[in-house]
Structure 1
Amino acid sequence: MLKGFKDFIMRGNVVDLAVGIVIGAAFTAVVTAFTNAFLKPLIQLLGGGSGATAGTWDVNGVKFDYASFVNALITFLLTAAVLYFLVVYPLNRLAERRKRGEEPPPEAPSEEVKLLTEIRDALVRQQVAPGAVNDILGRHQQDPPR
């Protein structure tokens, strides 16, 4: 049971997935920090100046923080764009290259090969002695030279 678990964990796909999740989480943290440090203040400046009410709407004493939503939207779009252009797109191109380099499937066997295969299979089913196959096919073994 432990050997099966070890084989599962050591498969390339599982390790790649784990690395991808860790890198994705770290990258998301970087993008979030960037948008919080630079873009959110810019959105707040464009949306009404500075102070506690910047980037918010106030309706009957209830604040709607639209700057945080726009910030989260920008974070999502930046993360998705980087993952697409640095991970998905290159892997799709790699898959296309591999597909172009594939060998064509083997041709179907000729009628003669099919017939000989059927004869062989019929002889095996009848459990014919190995030397009898050569006799049936007209092959004669020669004595080894002395």
Structure 2
Amino acid sequence: MLKGFREFIGRGNVVDLAVAVVLGTAFTAIVSAIVEGFINPLIAAIFGQPDLASVANFTIRDAQFSIGLVLAAVFNFLCVAAAVYFFIVTPINKLRELQKKEPESEEEATPPEDILLLREIRDALRERV
């Protein structure tokens, strides 16, 4: 049971996922600070509001609607997603491509002797049939 768990943890996908969560959280904090401290006030200034959440607010029968709050959340998500894609996903994909292009060593190109022996046995059995 522990061996299976160790294999599960050792798989590249699990490690990649853990790294992505940690780095995504770190990028979220950075991008959120940039969006909240610079971009949202800039957009809000264009509309003449103190922040993006104040843009396009209206009330219907004492119910407050805020289109700007939704726009701010969508914009924040898009900025975080772009940062994660361009600063994490793209470099990792390029690194993987470079690793795939490296030529195989001769040891990996030549199968072990037991595999060669099994292939000979297989071929001999095929000839008998």
TM-score by length of 2: 0.60
**Greater RCO, 1 or 2 (C-alpha within 8 Å, sep 6+):** 2
Give the counterpart letter for 2:49 in structure 1: G
- Structure 1 distance, partners of 2:30, 2:42, is 18
- Structure 1 distance, partners of 2:30, 2:57, is 28
Task: Provide the alpha-carbon RMSD of the alignment.
Answer: 3.3
| Counterpart mapping for 1:1-146 below 5 A | 1-50=1-50, 54-60=54-60, 61-102=62-103, 121=124
Identical amino acids, percent of aligned pairs: 41
Task: Return 5+ residue gaps in structure 2 as ranges.
Answer: 110-119
CA deviation profile, 1:77-109 (whole Å, cap 9, x unmatched) = 222222222222223333443444456xx8xxx
- Structure 2 distance, partners of 1:46, 1:12, is 46
The structure number with the bigger radius of gyration is 1
- Flag the 1:16–1:54 CA change in 2: closer, same or farther, 3 A: closer
- Flag the 1:54–1:16 CA change in 2: closer, same or farther, 3 A: closer
- Structure 2 distance, partners of 1:27, 1:12, is 22
- Structure 1 distance, partners of 2:72, 2:47, is 13
TM-score by length of 1: 0.54
CA deviation profile, 1:49-96 (whole Å, cap 9, x unmatched) = 349x94232244543322222222221222222222222222333344
| Structure 1 residue 21 displacement after superposition | 0.8
Q: Does structure 2 conserve the Cα–Cα contact (< 8 Å) formed by 1:47 and 1:54?
A: no
- Flag the 1:43–1:68 CA change in 2: closer, same or farther, 3 A: farther
Q: Does structure 1 conserve the Cα–Cα contact (< 8 Å) formed by 2:31 and 2:83?
A: no
